[in-house]
Every structure is written in C-alpha cells, then in structure tokens.
Amino acid sequence: MIALWWLLACGGGAERELTVLAAASLTDAYQDMALAFEQAHPGVDVVLSVAGSQTLATQIRHGIGADVFASANEAHIRAVADEGLVAAPRALARNALVLAVRSDTHPVEFAALDEVGSLVVGDTDVPVGRYTATLLDAAEQSYGEAWRAGVEARVVSREPSVRLVAAKVAMGEADAALVYATDARAVPGLRAIAVPATEQPPEYFHARLTDSTHPELAEAWLAFVESAEGQRILAEHGFDAP
C-alpha cells in the first residue's frame, strides 16, 4: 500500500508547487501564463486545474488545497470570498460574446439568428449561458418577441461548458453558437461574428485562497497576471483589459 502511495506521489518533484484553479475559458491563456511565470520564478511548478467556475467554487468549499482561483464571473468568486475562503477578488480581464459559425459556411447576421438551421448555446447554469440569456433579453427589445421565440426554437442543445458549445459547431453538428470571443478564436475552423454589446460584458476575477500554503507565491501570480506581460498574454488570446 505504501509503495502504491509512493507511486502516485512521485512525479511532482518541483520544490514549490502553485496550484491555480481557472475557469475553463482561460485554459489556453493560462497555459502560456504558467510557462511565463515558471520562467520568471525558477523552481516553481504551476499546476493548472481548469473546470467550470461553480465546480471550482465547490472544490474550494470542500478544501481542495489550492492557491489561486480565477473565475469567469463575479458572482461565483464573491460567494466564496463572502465565506472567507478567498481574499478580496480583483478583475483580471474581460471577454465578449460572439456568434460563431464554421469558417467554411456562409456568415449569419445576428438579426437573422431566428433563421439559422440549428443553434447551440451555453446552459444558463454556466456563466456563458447567463451572458447569452442577457444578450438575447436585450436583443428582444430591438427585434421583438417573435424573433426571440424563433431563436429559442432553433436551440438544439444547452451545453454545460463553453468549449463544448464551440466544439458542436466546429464539428459541423450545429450551424451556429453563441460563445466567448476567445473560444471562437481558440477553436480551429470557427468564424466569429460580432453581436450587439451588452451593458455588462463577461468579466474575469481572481483571488488568493485564504488557506494557500504559499501565500506570497499566490500574490506573485496575481500580480504577474495583472502586469504588462500578463495582460499581453491575455490579449494574445483575445481577452480585453478589465
């Protein structure tokens, strides 16, 4: 048994490990971020754990033992901050919603969204789905109730992750999807079409976990993400400054 435990435990090996819990849509940007951070801090190994923001919040509530939390919306990180599990959250980046279609098909106008063959959106349980609902609510004011009903009738799936939404269109199973601009950019074969801006764009927040075993390293990570270099990496992946 002890030998088996050892088998699982070995393989790490770096002197200091920084565990970063990040929202799924930050995956690509944070992989680059981790590499740059490791270069700037020799001997530090950044471990990225990506999932939906609420799943990450749940893991924090159950004492997952991590150092930093980056959430795709404010509500989830405020909730764990109110429980004293993370320090005061700070904004790190913004995103935008876009309409994504396959780049080998005809572009679609957002105003004609009720005429696409099939539409995939995020489930309202996840941030991208809530931003989508907000966008459609606002658009209904301009295009009318019939347009909204038409759009809802085109929805063939409400996916629990923004990457799954994008994948369904990239694989050609659905005609259009509402995703973050960053995902439309990261997933090959997709074309992004602008949609009307909403009052509150998708905004990302991060904070240090209060039970972090490397608090000074966690703070260094937060500062690095907010620094000019961190923001440059985020911009490369299509994020806007907060």
Q: Are 49 and 57 in contact (CB under 8 A)?
A: no
CA distances from 122 to 10, 33, 91, 149 (A): 38, 26, 23, 17
**Pick 13 or 62: Cβ nearer another protein:** 62
Q: What is the closest distance, in whole angstroms, from the C-beta atom of residue 167 to another protein in the complex?
A: 8
Q: What is the closest distance, in whole angstroms, from the C-beta atom of residue 100 to another protein in the complex?
A: 16
**Pick 133 or 156: Cβ nearer another protein:** 156
- Rounded Cα distance between 88 and 206, Å, is 9
Q: What is the closest distance, in whole angstroms, from the C-beta atom of residue 111 to another protein in the complex?
A: 24
- Rounded Cα distance between 120 and 143, Å, is 20
**For residue 219, which amino acid is it?**
E
**Pick 5 or 12: Cβ nearer another protein:** 5
**Pick 155 or 193: Cβ nearer another protein:** 155
Beta strands 119-122; 155-159: pairing state = parallel
**Pick 26 or 233: Cβ nearer another protein:** 26
Retrieve residue 222's tokens.
Answer: 């937060």
Q: Which residues bind another protein (CB under 8 A)?
A: 52-55, 58, 61, 118, 120, 123, 125-126, 155-160, 164, 168, 171-174
Q: What is the closest distance, in whole angstroms, from the C-beta atom of residue 61 to another protein in the complex?
A: 8
Helices within the chain (DSSP H only)? 2-9, 27-40, 53-61, 74-82, 127-143, 145-154, 162-170, 181-186, 215-226, 228-236
**Pick 41 or 191: Cβ nearer another protein:** 191
Q: What is the closest distance, in whole angstroms, from the C-beta atom of residue 15 to another protein in the complex?
A: 33
Of 126, 94, 121, 54, the residue nearest 240 (C-alpha):
94
Q: What is the closest distance, in whole angstroms, from the C-beta atom of residue 210 to another protein in the complex?
A: 20
